Each structure stands twice: as C-alpha cells, then as structure tokens.
Amino acid sequence: MLYKKIAKPVLFRMDPEKAHHLMIDLMYTLGNVPGGRQTLKAMWGVGSYPELETEVVGIRFPNPVGLAAGLDKNGKAVPGFSSIGFGFMEVGTITPQPQEGNPLPRLFRLPEDGALINRMGFNNVGVEGMKRNLRSQGSRTIPLAINIGKNKSTPNEEAENDYRLCIQALYGYGDFFVVNISSPNTPDLRQLQHGDDLSRLLAAVKDEIRVQHAQFGGKEKPVLVKIAPDLTPEETEYTVATIVRSGVSGIIVSNTTIGRDGLAHPNRGEAGGLSGRPLTSKSTELIRSVYKLTEGNVPIIGSGGIFTAEDAYEKIRAGASLVEVYTALIYEGPPLLKQINQGLRKLLKKDGFKHISEAVGSEHRG
C-alpha cells in the first residue's frame, strides 16, 4: 500500500533512470543507518518457512525468490535488498573496467504492458568499485551472486580474459557467479552463446574458478550461465549441450528479449531488451525446453515476467529450482516478495507437495 499509493506515483513521474538511482540510494541508506535493516524487515520481510527453504547448487536459500541482475549493478545496496524478503540476489552485470554504458535515455517504462525496455549497455563502476562496495558491507545474510560480463571494447576473441579478471577480483565477495553472454545491449555479446566461442569461454571461467578456489579454499563456488529467450530451438539444443559439457553448475533462463510482439505502449519502438509481462510465457517455455534437454539434471533459475505466485509456480513446475524478479518489483514494490512466497505456500499445499523441491519439474511427471 505504502509503495503503490505514495512511492510509485512519485517515482513514475520521474525519468526512469533517475528513479532507479533514487531507489538504489534509498536502499543503500536504509541498509546502512542504525536500525534501517530492522525497519525494512519489519515492513517487508518474509517469514521463515521450512517448505520454501531449499538447497540448490550446494547453497542454502531461505526462500526461492531472488532479485535478478541489473537493479543493483554495482553491489551498492546489498544489505538493504537483503532485508526486504529476497531469498538471494544478483549484483552486476560487472565488467573489469568501469564503463558509462549507452547514451541517455536508455531505460523506458511501458505501463500498459507491465514492461520495461533497457539498453543500458553494462554501465557499471568496474570490479574495483564493486569490490569496495561489497567489502564495506559486512557479512551477507542471503546468498549473493555476482553477474559478470565483458567490456564493450573487448573483442569477442579476447572475452575470456575479461571474465577471468572479474572472477579474480571478486571471487572472495560472492557465493556464486553468473556468466552473462545474453544481454542484447553489448554489440556481438550474444554471439558468445554459440559454437566454439562458448566452449572456450566456459572452459576459461571454470579454470579461473579452480585457480581461485585453490587460493581461497572452502567449497568451490558454483557458476551459472544466463541465456537469451530469443534462441531458436536448434540454437537452444546446441547451447544447452555445450553448457552441460562445460561442467558449470546451472542455467539462468532467461535474459531480456529483443521481441516486441503484442505491445501497446508507444515506447515499444525503442531499441533494447524487453522485460516484464510480455516475457512471462516465453521464458517459461524456454525453461520447459531446457529442463527436458538436461533431463532435469542441471539446476535452472527462472527469470522473466514473474508478477504473481502463479507465475513463479508455473516456472517452478516447468523446471526452475529458483526464480528471480526485477520488473515486477518496479511495478508492484517490495510487498511483491511476501505475496509470492505466501502464494507459493498455498499452491504447494493445494497440490499436495510438502516442500518446494517436490514441485520442481512436476509438470513433466504428469
């Protein structure tokens, strides 16, 4: 109520990117002032429910609903976001060197469509800036993923060096890593999803993870790969086979789409990646395909157009072990997280499942 009645009308009168920065600054402040985290938890925190606590890729998650990459690009507001009910969160996409991204304006709302279009272009403070941000925040309260990419100026044939540099700099600051090869806003990045480029890149990433693990000790940190929703069935089959062969821990399905089917808002003509409601069924269908191709043996994080518990549950039944939100948080605000988690509990009970893991891929079992 507080968000929709007061905060959202103010934010939606602002330029979308200015509103974005204001939200990050507010979450940063509330996450760092005395009593701020407790206030956030009291207002929006999600309770602890054994049926929603789950283990995926060797990591314990207090609930299956996470924050997708792209909102807290620089890892500035992790304590704040960790206090409003997320079960995990991604920061980034981060690149080795700072970069400004694409020219303004580059973020657009499509309210009638429940969507956003962005062509940010990996604007971020670089690995040293993110390291400073994460170092100052103390111990993590939810699992943290670091989403890594390449600088725009780095040619694809040298991309593996950028991903290595990100892991070298940030290995000690995250719980798992996400390889972003599917943003539509960095020229030729999506080409890394195909052929020998992908094999070579993932081999380099896995090698660097092993090198850092040998130095840091503990458990080796998992790596997931984020794929685009715009792959053809043949490309999906080949890409998934390459990912499975690489030995990485999981797949995030999916990034934003370059498709524009069925949009009503005038901003539909803007270039960039589309997220939100128009992506709901497209990403769920891709989850279904990936689950079948991997025979349910590779964990999937489902992302794209999750606005309700039913949206999340459909992705879980299609094969996702965890889910992520972003655009819905902009439209619905922090109460979304409690609504999804409470709704998932009811849906599990309705279907006779005692634990969220029982629902994963259940539609394939008839």
- Give the pair of three-digit tokens for residue 281: 């069924």
Cross-strand pairs, 65: 323
d(CA 206, CA 197): 14
Share in percent of the chain as helix, strand, coil (round to 5): 45, 15, 35
* End-to-end C-alpha distance for the chain, whole angstroms: 39
- Give the pair of three-digit tokens for residue 261: 């089917």
Q: Can you give the length of the chain in residues?
A: 366
Query: CA dihedral defined by 99, 220, 341, 73, rounded to 10 degrees?
Result: -10
User: Of residues 82, 182, 183, 289, which has the active-site annotation?
Assistant: 183
Instruction: Calculate the alpha carbon distances from 56 to 72, 91, 147 in Å.
Output: 23, 18, 17
Cα Rg, the chain, nearest whole Å: 19
Active site residue 183: yes
Q: Give all strands (DSSP E) within 211-270, no chain letters.
A: 223-227, 250-253
Helix axes 309-318, 335-350, angle to 10 degrees: 50
Q: Which of helix, strand or coil describes residue 67?
A: strand
- Give the pair of three-digit tokens for residue 155: 């040619």
- The β-bridge relationship of strands 176-180 and 223-227 is parallel
- The catalytic residue positions are 183
